[in-house]
Amino acid sequence: NIGTMAFDKTGTLTQGVFAVEAVHPETLEEKELLHLAAHVEHFSTHPIAEALRTAFPQEATDGCAMTDVEELAGYGIRACVNGHLVCVGNTKMMDKVGAKWRNCHRVGTIIHVAVDGCYAGHIVISDCLKDDSVGAVAALKRLGIGRLVMLTGDRREAELLPADKVACVEQLLAEKPSGKSVAFVGDGINDAPVLKLADVGIAMGGLGSDAAIEAADVVLMDDKPTKIATAVRIARRTIGIARQNVAFAIGVKVAILLLATVGLGTMWMAVFADVGVTVLAVFNAMRALKG
């Protein structure tokens, strides 16, 4: 009965494999901007941090002193590198430290860098759509799911904190029509509260975090978004068969009871209403195994 489905982006609709696409410095050289960003992201396990470290692999051996590393959820990371406060994150991070950031015309995740409160530039990091993401969205629309929403913290237009995602899903739940439900699809540890809140939580099982998998109602073991539509079809088919069995069983029993009240019922009719109906219902239910 899903009427609205919300998606996390990274690792759900995209592959979650990032690479540095462009470097746009303001006050530093490109190499120095990458150098500082890679240092600050050195201890982070986020895929974006891995992309920065890959783009500047020398950061582990260049002898720079780094202290006071602090990760701010939904903003970014800051640390002291050689005595300078370096902040790496989104536009909210830049606003927090008073750096006048610049927007970027490129499509991708924009990582802004500030040094001692002054804007130093930004780095564009790209992520590729999964091969079947477009097909998955089309399949869900064909199934009649009319409202598809993407909740992301990567782009300036959104930059949702984990708590913001919860608020968005709460709003979707409040707006849903009667008889319809809201589903959320995610894979990260930050998605766990939203997966639990939604009527139906769907987690990516291959690369998803343990917290997301534990909180979800449905787990896609191969991380393919097209399997969401498959799960919906299986659910609808299963519920349809169950309703057929209920209607058939009750209908036959009521019919034989009515015949018995007027003296037309026989023992063999009673046997059929009991054992026969059960056998036929089992055979009908086995059709669900065909997918």
Is residue 99 helix, strand or coil? Answer: coil
Structure tokens at 29: 């050289």
The Cα 194–Cα 72 span in angstroms is: 20
Residue 127, beta-bridge partner list: 18
Q: Which of 105, 107, 88, 106 is nearest to 97 (CA)?
A: 88
Maximum Cα–Cα distance across the chain: 98
Give the Cα separation of 143 and 137 in Å (integer): 10
Considering 8, 127, 187, 199, which one is annotated as catalytic? 8
Examine the residue annotation and report whether 95 is marked as an active-site residue of this protein. Answer: no
The Cα–Cα gap between 150 and 158 comes to 10
172-210 core/surface letters (b: 16 or more CB in 10 A; e: else): beeebeeeeebbbbbbbebbbbbbbbbbbbbbbbeebbe
- Phi-psi region for residue 223, left (φ > 0), alpha (ψ -120 to 50) or beta? left
Alpha carbon distance 104, 158 (integer Å): 15
233 CB-side CA count, 13 A = 14
Cα separation, 228 vs 137, in Å, equals 9
If DSSP states are collapsed to H, E and C, what string results for 10-29? CCCCEEEEEEEEEEEECCCC
Q: Show which residues are catalytic.
A: 8
